[in-house]
Structure 1
Amino acid sequence: VIKFLVLRIHENVVALLLHVFRFVLEPKSAMIKEQEQKMQDSEAAIASLQ
Structure 2
Amino acid sequence: MAWGASAYAVGTVVACSVISTGVVLSVAGEALAFVPNALGRALLHNERL
TM-score normalised by length of structure 1: 0.27
More strand as a share of residues: 2
More helix as a share of residues: 1
Q: Work out which structure has the larger RCO, using CA pairs closer than 8 Å and 6 or more positions apart in sequence.
A: 2
State which structure, 1 or 2, has the greater radius of gyration over its C-alpha atoms: 1
TM-score normalised by length of structure 2: 0.27
